Amino acid sequence: MTKLLVATGNMGKLKEYQELLSDLDVEWVSLKDVGLGDMDVDETGSTFTENAILKAESYSQAANLITLADDSGLVVDALDGRPGIYSARYGAPAAKTDQDRYQKLLGELDGIAVAQRTARFVCVVAIAIPNHVTHTVEGLFEGHIATAPLGEHGFGYDPIFELPDGRTLAQLPPAEKHRISHRGLALEKARPYLLDVLSDQ
């Protein structure tokens, strides 16, 4: 069975990939599984796509395996696209937790009308295969930034990302979130390419 490496040490993310691509006949492995848990790749790109490709190609070369890597973040229109590619480290070093980061963002939007609080989650998934050109797909999930956090599920900016129906991502059950999220949408786009690649193995 073909091994498929997900470039993460986060077992929750690995599980999410497995659930979203459950029809693939592969052996799912993480960075820890292939001895690369301590390998860091500098995300020096200026876009989600560049950083996803950097990670996918670096880990694919090191493991000699088909590798999936993603780069994702929150883009807020009223903040000229911030936090963008810096979503995971927004407000550092002062902001140390997810709550610190989303509270900083809420503070920056204080006084901004609801209609102007448009935002989207972006996820770019890169699929790197040794000696092949890396393939990328993008998922976008549109919404608004709420005025206050709500919900107990999810992580990151989920408590302040509001859907058209008024719920935040953190109020959705995980299975529902996976189906409609930026990562879920990106992986759905990736499926035909992966099926084609795996048929050649």
Of the residues 70, 71, 98, 165, only one is catalytic, namely 71
Beta bridge partners of 75: 83, 120
- Domain map (residue ranges) of the chain: 3-199
| Helices 182-199 + 11-20 axis angle, to 10 | 70
**Would you call the peptide bond into 174 cis, given omega within 30 degrees of 0 as the criterion?**
no
**Would you call the peptide bond into 83 cis, given omega within 30 degrees of 0 as the criterion?**
yes
Could you confirm whether 40 is annotated as catalytic? no
pTM of this structure: 0.92
pLDDT of residue 201 exceeding 80, the answer is: no
pLDDT digits (tens, 9 = 90+) for 12-64: 788 889 988 988 999 999 999 999 999 999 889 999 999 999 999 999 999 99
pLDDT digits (tens, 9 = 90+) for 180-191: 899 999 999 999
pLDDT of residue 158 exceeding 80, the answer is: yes
Would you state the CATH architecture of domain 3-199?
Alpha-Beta Complex (3.90)
